[in-house]
Amino acid sequence: MTDQLRLMAVHAHPDDESSKGAATMAKYVSEGVDVLVATCTGGERGSILNPKLQGDAYIEANIHEVRRKEMDEARQILGVKQAWLGFVDSGLPEGDPLPPLPEGCFALQDVDEAAGALVKLIREFRPHVITTYDENGGYPHPDHIMTHKISMVAFDAAGDPERYPEAGEAWTPLKLYYNQGFNRPRTVALHEALLARGLESPYGEWLKRWDDMDRPERQITTFVPCADFFEIRDKALIAHATQIDPDGFWFHVPMDLQKEVWPTEDYELARSRVDTSLPESDLFAGIRAAG
């Protein structure tokens, strides 16, 4: 490509960009790729998950503002650009039966209408590649599922000048991927490597739940080598202090083991308008060669 390569990562909440594909983004930034994170909501209804900050009255009263500052710090660590789509966090309903979602939240928006904000951003930024979540949201959070829905509409619509004519000049993104970092082969490999070292694995319960659910395997098509950027990923994660305990689950696997056993971040190619051969090691496979 004679033009600078551009990657857009569409996420539901601030912190999702640092737990899903962060090392990939940092790698591409280091190579001169222009990377933009599109954050659908402000995370207003997110709980304070870091036990060290629970009970902090200021944070509880100003969670939206605090999470915006955390996002800004993570953005700087990763070296990416970031834009807010402006929707309101839906929260994660719990209980049986599930309570209704709060009025006006992201997950209750009309999909076609909500996709207009993402179409506008795609036409402004002009990404060659977009990453998002699969139809299950990666996990069934209503905002993650809605993120998938608007991403699919926007990917198809952004290049059609007759759709969303008010959103700017049409631009056709070439590839769309689903984040699949929490896939079973990776989890099994890390689990077994930890046990082989005589270490405790945090993944035993995960694997048991997967077995109980009889969860179908996703087709992982693309393995991006990015182990050199795992430390940057972790720094970005820790920047989301309300959501991430630096002594918690995310950091139980020694860094050297991660790099040795599974040095990639993994994706599922969902749409492509260019020819490519699977498996891939580059989100821009088939695009670089087209230039």
Residue 242: helix, strand or coil by DSSP? coil
Name 114's Cβ contacts closer than 8 Å, sequence gap at least 6. Answer: 87, 106, 146, 150
Tell me if 144 is assigned to a ligand binding site. yes
Tell me if 240 is assigned to a ligand binding site. no
Distances (CA, A) of 271 to 111, 113, 128, 268: 19, 22, 12, 9
Element (H, E) at 176: strand 175-179
Distances (CA, A) of 265 to 35, 154, 168, 229, 280: 16, 24, 33, 11, 12
Residue 204: helix, strand or coil by DSSP? helix
Element (H, E) at 51: none
Q: Are strands 175-179 and 264-272 parallel, antiparallel or unpaired?
A: antiparallel
Tell me if 266 is assigned to a ligand binding site. no
Of 32, 34, 31, 39, the C-alpha closest to 10 is 39
Distances (CA, A) of 19 to 3, 158, 175: 29, 27, 21
Binding residues for Zn(2+): 13, 16, 144
Binding residues: 13, 16, 144
